[in-house]
Amino acid sequence: MPLALPPTTSVSANHPTKTKHVTVFIPEQVVSKPSPVVDLSNLQDASRILHEQLVKDSQIIPDLGELLLGMSLLRFVPLHFDKNSYKTAGGASSASYSVFPDDYRVPFQKRRLIGIPEALFQYYNTTNVTSHMGLLPEIERVWISIDHKLFLWDYVEGQDISSFVDQPDVITSVAVVKPKPGVFVDEITSVMVICTPVSILLVGLSAASVVGPNNRRRKEIKMYATDMSISTDVEMSSVAGSHDGRIFMCGSQDGCLYELHYQQSESWFGKRVQLLNHSVGGMQSLFPRFASSKHEDRILSVVFDVNRTCLYTLSAKNSISVYQLGGEKTLHHIQTLTNLYKAAQDKAPNSPALAPSQFQVVSLHVVNPGESRTGVQLIGVTMNGVRLYFSVATYGFSHISTASHGESLRPLQLTHVRLPPSNLYHPDELSHSYRPATSSYNPARGVPVPPPSRPFVVSGIENSSYIDGLMVSAQPGDAEGTDFLLCIAPDLTRIGALGQVQTAQQHPAASQPPIYGASYSSSGTQRPPLVEYATLLAIPGRTWAMASVPRSPPASSASPSPSTINELASQFSEPPRQFMILTNVGLTFLVKRRALDYLRAVVEEVLSEGAVQPIIEFRDSFGRDQTCAMLLGLACGNTFLDAGDQSTVGTLYRPSPDVANIAKQAFYDFGERPIWTERVTYGTSEASGSAIFSGRREGFAIYFARLVRPLWKDKITKPGSLGLHQLNVQETLLATIQKNLCALREFLEKNPHLFHSTPGDPAASRGPAGHEQEAWKAEQSSVAQLLSLLTRTIEAISFVLLLSDYRLGELIARCDPDAQKLITYMTYEDLITTQNGLNVSRALVNLVIDQQIGQQISVDTISEVLQQRCGSFCSADDVMLYKARENVRKAVESRNPAERQNWLGESLRLFAKGARVLEFDKIREVCTEYRQLGYAKGAVELPLYCALALDPDGIGLEYWLAGSPPNDDRLEFSKKRNSCYQLVLESLNSFEERALQSSSQKTAPAESLETVRNHAFELAFTSEDEMFHSTLYDWLIEKGHTDDLLAMRPMFLEAHLRREPATVSKYQLLWQFYVKDGQPLRAAEALAALAESRNFDLSLEKRLECLILAVGNAKSHPVTANGRHETAIAFLTDLEEKLDVAQVQLEIYNSLLPHINDPGEDGEKIRRLGKHLMTMSELYQSYAEPFDLPVMKLLILHVSEHRDDHLVRSIWDRIFEDALEKDTDPETNADHLVANVVPLGKRFYPSEYAFPLRHIASSLMRFSLKYLGQLPKGWTPRVLVQCGVPYPEVWEVLHEMYESHIPPFNQQRSVQAISSDIAVLLRDWVEEAKRPQSPTVRHELPVGRIDAGVGQYLSELDSSSTDTKVIYEGIKRELRRNW
């Protein structure tokens, strides 16, 4: 299992990519504030850089179709091409080649020659033997037949040979195809087709990959007899198998197309093995030996196209037929292409290569869809090297569909003719092997190369092989026993938009300084035609067969896909292409020389001979950025750096220190400097700038992106067996990518100076110092981001591999549904750079930890592994939490109370330190464990720690203090705090319930449970979190613990009760709190506010009660308290007035209560009267007046002390009027008056505002005079005395009437009546004074004044008023007797 290196500390900086505005953070500013463990912003910026490079890789090299058909998809600067180019409109033909006089830049290199094993020569024991041979690359074997014997030579192992001799006929052809599903046992993975002149035999093969003696992987095969064979009179050749196991071939004698059909067992409708002739059709196909061919044009070869499920055949007369597979035993003929010579001439008129005698197509090659997105599908190669490219027809053909596949197969047409190179150097002219002479690298290298002295013309190609734009063809050489190989590969420097220098010559002289950073020209939008490297190589022997060496197909990636001919994008992640050429001497391996191999050669040339011109030419050919990317890969080492045996893939290859140093120095020198471009907006003084990065930074980004391309956009998992997930990218590929990333990081860590300017650099003077500094800052910021992403990616791969070790599928199955859904669609990029990636990784780490804890494995062990391999996925905080959980587990297992408390205390300490990364569900889980263990300190304090950690900047608290406004972004932080507070309340409730339950059951530990409960509440109340206190108080109030709260009076209780939103219960508690706290005046203020508040639905009686309590508390305020004496008096006065008004309001309300349910506005007004306090004016104007309530009017005048004589007299007049009834005797009306007047008098006297005494007395007297003789004498004064009017005042009022000359008191009759009332009044007064315990004090009786008054009244008394005279005389006697 590969280990990730420890993460490095680097300063991250936000920086966009090239040509964007740049924001640079100064490192000191970054360090000043603690940053999170994973800076997602920086990682995402770096990820965007990688994405841009991946997109560029998919665009810089056009695909085959774009090159051949002259498509213009990208802007490009036209380059200089060879003159040997035959071109017509539309890209009909081309012949542009790069040909060099040495083998230094040849596209292929002869890697090794493996001779035919000596053991085979013993079978050539006679001179008359028939021998054939060919390649079976699918099973890594060469087949060699000697008469009827078949030998399979394992060329990987070198000398291992297996044989098959179980049939008697001469073997002429052997092929390996895929088996039909369900016919053979599962062990059989391939079927070997053995052809003889008289039969066809099928042999089952199983191939297993094993490690050989040389520590190289090889395929071990086993052969299985299938008992499947068929006789034939036609010798078969060119066997081709389909993807689903169908076998096609052509007859050597009749040139027909055959299919070998086989099935598991015979049936009524067919034999077990049949040979079908698709060239004749009908029933004749079942009898091939009787159906002699009448076709003059014989089929020579059959090629199957796996991607398009179709078949191509090539005939002797250059006809190409296309077939599409139908149902079983059926084949649909789509088209036959003829007259290819004429079509080719139309494409390339007057070309000397198109001669009738040499126009013979010798082989067909399929073009994979990924190689040409524009429809190039098939290549035909002629004997003199002309290549015919066939594409999907765009007009003139209809689509032909088949029922079996349901897809349309469009007919083909010849779209491009590629002419052979005419200036090939003879292999003998390539005198130096692999390295050119030193003299070749001089300043004059830019001059055109001399033409070949003996140019070789291709004329007799017999074999060819093609894959991904690479082609190798063989023809007999001009010496006995030698073949020449025509090797062709795309010249990426001529067809790619690599940012090369724009110069007049293809190879600029060294004295001409290149200018980098130039933009592509918009005028040249046409793609250049295809330009290829071409060379001739000589190999010993005559060629029998050739094929490309199979390699594991690259994992399908969701990243932007580069063209398959773009080896720049794949050379650091895939081994080079190889071809095998089988001759009668042995097996020759050709290896494609990549740009990387070319670079390595020129670096070695610098090392060995000091020639720098080749590496400069390399830089000029491939462009600055691409060269820097390759130099970086060469300097740090790579698993695909060695172009040798593919069996060593996965082993990190590092160049020699000297080569690495030269590559490093060239990386720095060629990379140049970043440039700052300033832009000023017209009409303003504002300026903005952007950085054009150096080649070093661009090379770093390119190389990094290419390393991670196989996984970056790919999902981490895919559905596997048993419904569990499994890794989507193979572990071996992950390990290989990680090795290369680690080598890159190690190199950059050892060479941090590569992205800094050197002191005294003359380039520093090119621009202003400020701009230069900005450019360097931007560059270093971007590099820091990429370094951060590099480390994170290495650790992410380690993390995924670690999860795989711990059974990733089972871990995911244990995740919650949301996490499972995230993982299902999560890519490596998401895992590394997004918040979801952090969440998922933390969830998976927690599951791993739980799994290990469940197995009694120490947390230290697993956390050490996690931190060592993937530190950013298991931070120090995470480790603390894991250790804390382990301490809880130890506490559970401990039986020693003191030891348990120690474990719990340590766990709380660790949990508190890591609270900011503790998930809420985990907080809840830990609190539950603490409660179960009776650990009050942890159950209370941990959620409070977490509440502060989840809201570190106090945003939630600020929101709460602001009154929790709606639609506020701060709400989320407040919710997080409240969630933690609820956990505290749950703990308190749990402790309380357990204590009560234990107490009620009188169990033994009741005292300890009560202690725990009390300790928990004590801890809660000692918290300094005001927001928590408020939550706690609400909870206690809801549970009915108000008395306890008031008794404790905790620190934040007053603030809590005063805080909005106000409630009745808060006010009730607030005034009681103030009373308990010795602040009666504040209690009165709270009560008054409650009484007057319009926000609460309080009854009028309740409000009146609050005012009464408020008045009482205000009166209790000490005179010297807080120096508020005068204020307190004013407040008390105001309260008393409001109380009076409230009492009036209540009386009015009660008087109107019978009408509260009246319909209309009146009922609504009455209901409103009972809800809120009103002013006296409102009561009078809205109720007393509209509802005509005279008594209430008097009450309002009395309380408000409003003096209005006219108003009050009119009210009393109305009272008198209401009291008297018509048609009723005087005595009854008199009683009514007494019933109405006496209560009001008792209530309002001596208020002149509501009880105008003289007016009332006058009204009573007028009533008495009206019914004189019918009412008893003294009725009026006695009514007034009942009203509470003192005797002296009644006497005074009556005497004024007696002396008055105002009608009706000016009549003698009225005067005598008033005198009689006065006599009764004075007699009652004297009798009252005589009565013991009388309120009238005896000595206060004005005896002299009464005596004088009686004398006056007697003197003026009418002689007929004898009764009144008797009363007066009796008064005189009583006065003399008693006073």
Tokens coding 1184: 């007393």
Q: Is 864 left (phi over 0), alpha (psi -120 to 50) or beta?
A: alpha
CB atoms near residue 1055 (< 10 Å): 12
User: Strand order in 331-337's β-sheet?
Assistant: 299-305, 310-315, 320-325, 331-337
Is 152 in contact with 136 (CB distance < 8 Å)? yes
In terms of average pLDDT, the best of 65-79, 436-450, 997-1011, 1170-1184 is 1170-1184
| 741-769 mean pLDDT | 76
pLDDT tier for residue 1194 given thresholds of 50, 70 and 90: confident
543 backbone dihedrals φ, ψ, rounded to 5°: -80, 130
The beta strand positions in 422-577, using DSSP E, are: 463-467, 470-476, 482-490, 531-540, 543-548
Which amino acid makes up residue 358?
Q
Q: Is the pLDDT of residue 1225 over 60?
A: yes
Q: Round to the nearest angstrom and report the end-to-end CA distance of the chain.
A: 131
Residue-averaged pLDDT of the chain: 83
| 347-361 mean pLDDT | 91
User: Strand order in 531-540's β-sheet?
Assistant: 96-98, 531-540, 482-490, 470-476, 463-467
Question: Using one digit for the tens of pLDDT, what is the confidence trace for 890-917?
Answer: 888 888 888 888 989 988 988 888 888 7
Q: Is the pLDDT of residue 34 over 60?
A: no
Measuring CA to CA, how many Å separate 181 from each of 139, 250, 263, 269? Answer: 19, 24, 10, 20
387 backbone dihedrals φ, ψ, rounded to 5°: -110, 130
Q: Is 1230 left (phi over 0), alpha (psi -120 to 50) or beta?
A: alpha
What integer pLDDT is reported at residue 80 of this predicted model? 31
Give the least confident one: 162-166, 525-529, 593-597, 693-697: 525-529
Give the least confident one: 57-61, 389-393, 1031-1035, 1074-1078: 1074-1078
Question: Using one digit for the tens of pLDDT, what is the confidence trace for 40-56?
Answer: 999 999 999 999 999 99
Task: Report the C-alpha gap between 123 and 920 in whole angstroms.
Answer: 79
Give the least confident one: 35-39, 329-333, 362-366, 661-665: 35-39
What integer pLDDT is reported at residue 127 of this predicted model? 62
Task: Report the C-alpha gap between 162 and 212 in whole angstroms.
Answer: 16
Q: Is the pLDDT of residue 16 over 50?
A: no
CB atoms near residue 1222 (< 10 Å): 5
Question: Using one digit for the tens of pLDDT, what is the confidence trace for 570-623?
Answer: 999 889 999 999 999 999 999 999 999 999 999 998 998 888 888 999 999 999
Task: Report the C-alpha gap between 905 and 831 in whole angstroms.
Answer: 35
Q: Is the pLDDT of residue 379 over 80?
A: yes
Nearest Cα residue to 463 out of 494, 496, 486, 433: 486
pLDDT tier for residue 363 given thresholds of 50, 70 and 90: very high
Q: Is the pLDDT of residue 799 over 90?
A: yes
Q: What angle do CA 295, 300, 306 make, to 5 degrees?
A: 115
Is 1371 in contact with 1379 (CB distance < 8 Å)? no
Is 274 in contact with 264 (CB distance < 8 Å)? no
DSSP string, 459-492: ----EEEEETTEEEEEEE-SSTTEEEEEEEEE-H
Nearest Cα residue to 809 out of 874, 726, 924: 726
Nearest Cα residue to 567 out of 588, 591, 534, 550: 591
pLDDT tier for residue 1003 given thresholds of 50, 70 and 90: low
| 116-120 mean pLDDT | 85
The beta strand positions in 361-462, using DSSP E, are: 361-366, 376-382, 387-392, 400-401, 408-409, 412-418
pLDDT tier for residue 513 given thresholds of 50, 70 and 90: very low
What burial class does residue 124 get, using C-beta atoms within 10 Å of its C-beta: 0-12 exposed, 13-18 middle, 19+ buried?
exposed
Beta strand 93-94 with 412-418 is parallel
Q: Is the pLDDT of residue 23 over 90?
A: no
What integer pLDDT is reported at residue 74 of this predicted model? 31
What burial class does residue 1234 get, using C-beta atoms within 10 Å of its C-beta: 0-12 exposed, 13-18 middle, 19+ buried?
middle
Task: Report the C-alpha gap between 297 and 275 in whole angstroms.
Answer: 21
| 403-422 mean pLDDT | 78
In terms of average pLDDT, the best of 280-289, 935-944, 1141-1150, 1171-1180 is 935-944
pLDDT tier for residue 449 given thresholds of 50, 70 and 90: low
Q: Is the pLDDT of residue 995 over 50?
A: yes
Give the least confident one: 55-59, 409-413, 1071-1075, 1318-1322: 1071-1075
Tokens coding 295: 């076709």
Q: Is the pLDDT of residue 203 over 50?
A: yes
What integer pLDDT is reported at residue 1198 of this predicted model? 86
In terms of average pLDDT, the best of 9-18, 573-582, 874-883, 1144-1153 is 573-582
Nearest Cα residue to 305 out of 261, 251, 367: 367
Q: Is the pLDDT of residue 459 over 70?
A: yes
Tokens coding 1268: 């004189």
What integer pLDDT is reported at residue 592 of this predicted model? 92
Task: Report the C-alpha gap between 226 and 248 in whole angstroms.
Answer: 19
| 89-110 mean pLDDT | 78
What integer pLDDT is reported at residue 403 of this predicted model? 36
Helical (H) or strand (E) element with 144: strand 141-146
Q: Is the pLDDT of residue 1130 over 70?
A: yes
Give the least confident one: 52-61, 120-129, 950-959: 120-129
Q: Which residues contact 1324 (CB under 8 A, 6 or more apart)?
A: 1274, 1277, 1278, 1281, 1287
Task: Report the C-alpha gap between 139 and 10 in whole angstroms.
Answer: 49
pLDDT tier for residue 248 given thresholds of 50, 70 and 90: very high
What integer pLDDT is reported at residue 1332 of this predicted model? 80
DSSP state of 561: P
Which amino acid makes up residue 690?
S
pLDDT tier for residue 743 given thresholds of 50, 70 and 90: very high
Question: Using one digit for the tens of pLDDT, what is the confidence trace for 709-718?
Answer: 999 999 999 9
Give the least confident one: 352-356, 515-519, 1099-1103, 1351-1355: 515-519
User: Strand order in 173-177's β-sheet?
Assistant: 173-177, 190-195, 199-211, 217-231
Task: Report the C-alpha gap between 899 and 882 in whole angstroms.
Answer: 19
What integer pLDDT is reported at residue 385 of this predicted model? 94
Question: Using one digit for the tens of pLDDT, what is the confidence trace for 1332-1354?
Answer: 877 776 677 888 888 888 888 88
What integer pLDDT is reported at residue 1123 of this predicted model? 53
